[in-house]
Structure 1
Amino acid sequence: MKSVLRSGMALVTAAVLGAGIFAATNTIASPGSTAGSVAIAGQGNNGNGNGKGLGGQPTTADAVYLDGIKDYGVCRGVDPACYNDWGQGWTEGETKRILIYSRTVGPRHAHLGTALAPGLNPPLNPNNVAQAALKAWAEERGIQVDYTEDVSRMTSLNNYQAVVFLSPTRDTLDDNAQTALMQFVRRGGGFVGIHNAFGTEYHWPWYEGLLGGANFYDHAPNRAGTIETINDDDVSTAGFPATWDFRDEFYNLVPYPSYVNVLLEVDEATSLNGRATGHPGHGAEHPVSWCHYYDGGKAFLTTLGHDVQLWTGDPNGEIANEELFKQHIVNGLESVMGIQPFCQA
């Protein structure tokens, strides 16, 4: 079952609910009932919680249904009840700061350029175009930017309102960095995953949940497609046309994102690259951007961002709508930081 609903319709309230929300009755209406439904994730037990999508909280039999969605054992979904306002988000008068992380331990996208030297904020090479562009875009909004590919720097995240994973690859974090990222998110920190953020930490279930319960499977070559604006109520898509041309590696995802607010999809008919049907992980719906609350924090995700010219500018007009991409990224970033409203539906 796909739990994604299009913009303008009621979204699933939350996939996993924290302790105390239903303490009074401990009864949750099943999605098929006529009561205000709350979707509860999957039947499998992954060792975190009771395997019923409640993170260990008790439930009644009719609250559980077999939808095949993995249980990550944390509060996740589109309900702000899953957010922990524990001081990690931005507050008025505070310095706005983010950390961009782009370490690769495997294939490296051309938009990242040459690997960066160790440490924080090393000199950027001319071909580090994605890091340079994202830094400039954020600074235009008054956001201070640090960047690194040094995993040891991922253990000091307290001073940031958001961490951006910009196309890292494979096992890019060690144990200490994984723990630090989890603690950062649980304090209410913001996470932005761009493009190959879906090509890293494959074997870490918590991170897969942070991505929206989704993971990279494959992609066809970089190609033209038509993006569909599913939700234009969110700040990251406000004013977007209903459909717009774009070129990218349109990622196929398994698992498919669940209990998230889908913002953008790619029209399957324009992105099949010669295949007769879409990827079995998607069917008729092929999301490319979404947002959700996860384990206390806020996450904004997009599989878009492959093409170098998206980051360098496109004076020759070879790529359409790169300005929409920039707007999408920067406003999504500000939303997870707490500067703008988050994940509107």
Structure 2
Amino acid sequence: MTLKRTLLTLSLIFSIAMVSQAQQFKALVFSKTAGFRHQSIPEAVAAIKELGKTQGFGVYTTEDAGAFNDENLAKYDVVILASTTGTIFNEEQKAAFQKFVQSGKGVVGIHSATDTEYEWPWYNKMIGAYFLTHPAQQTLRLEVVDQNHPATWHLSKSWMWFDELYEFRDINPDIKVLIKADESTYKVGKGNGDNHPMAWYHEFDGGRVFYTALGHVESAWVEADFLKHVSGGIWYAATGHPFKK
């Protein structure tokens, strides 16, 4: 019995070590909503969990804003805001989130992460813009303007896509645009004109941020090119590769 227990203990230690080695980094997926709740959130969370398995990073999911404290956030390399909406943080949680970014960590915003925290100027600058409106869901041409980022390495210059197409206000001029909407290919709402960003990244307040406006529809979360787009953005925000200085 003693030998069996010893072997079992050694097996568990080995398994834990292997899991630890397999995790390049750890991601906290946060999908709390205080406004509109997207039906695609379960698909988004499930898909990111699967990306963690196939791409070798750890994933923890929650809708409890209490997870945003200094001690807990120190466990993670990247926070993924999966279609959050509305005012979701209190003042203490905001402070912890800011410290997380300032410590050199990463943030990924997906779709309605820009429809979040309208009364928090730091958040606006960090995420890159605020949601303004959107027309009916439809197909358009996305123009990939920067193919030198892991979120777009795999994409051609033109990407035909169907989604809910966000338009923005209060756009941070420092964001680095990866993908633009070609407004000549669909019926716009108010529009953003020739420079209509749909995905971007930037370094902000010591950390790294990637945002994609795509991902409203459930079908996006089983589409290979979109999943590569998201996983590349996560990898960049978590690690800084290939842009780490």
Query: Residue in 2 aligned with 1:262?
Result: 177
* Cα distance in structure 2, aligned partners of 1:197 and 1:239: 24
Are 2:22 and 2:57, in contact at CA under 8 Å, matched by a contact in 1? no
* Cα distance in structure 2, aligned partners of 1:332 and 1:234: 8
Query: Residue in 2 aligned with 1:305?
Result: 215
| Paired amino acid for 2:163 | D
Give me the TM-score of the superposition, normalised by structure 2.
0.86
* Cα distance in structure 2, aligned partners of 1:293 and 1:305: 23
4+ residue stretches of structure 1 with deviation over 4 A?
92-95
| Paired amino acid for 1:170 | G
Are 2:23 and 2:57, in contact at CA under 8 Å, matched by a contact in 1? no
1:102 maps to which of 12, 31, 37 = 31
| C-alpha RMSD over aligned residues | 1.9
* Cα distance in structure 1, aligned partners of 2:101 and 2:244: 16
Query: Residue in 2 aligned with 1:131?
Result: 45
How far residue 257 of structure 1 moved from its aligned partner, in angstroms, is 3.7
Deviations 1:198-234 (A, max 9, x none): 111011000000012x111111121111111100111
SS at match of 1:110: coil
| Paired amino acid for 2:236 | S
* Alignment gaps of 5+ in structure 1: 1-91, 113-127, 314-321
Asked if 1:245 corresponds to 2:160, the answer is yes
Matches within 5 A, 1:125-274: 128-155=42-69, 156-212=72-128, 214-273=129-188
| Paired amino acid for 2:124 | E
| Paired amino acid for 1:152 | G
Q: Which has the higher strand share?
A: 2
Are 2:176 and 2:202, in contact at CA under 8 Å, matched by a contact in 1? yes
Deviations 1:182-212 (A, max 9, x none): 0000000100000000111011000000012
Deviations 1:118-158 (A, max 9, x none): xxxxxxxxxx2211111111221110100100111121200
Q: Which has the higher helix share?
A: 2
Fraction of identical pairs, as percent: 32
* Cα distance in structure 1, aligned partners of 2:25 and 2:210: 17
Query: Residue in 2 aligned with 1:326?
Result: 227
* Cα distance in structure 1, aligned partners of 2:244 and 2:143: 17
* Cα distance in structure 2, aligned partners of 1:100 and 1:323: 20
Query: Residue in 2 aligned with 1:35?
Result: none
Give me the TM-score of the superposition, normalised by structure 1.
0.62
| Paired amino acid for 2:79 | V
- Count matched residues: 223
How far residue 239 of structure 1 moved from its aligned partner, in angstroms, is 3.3
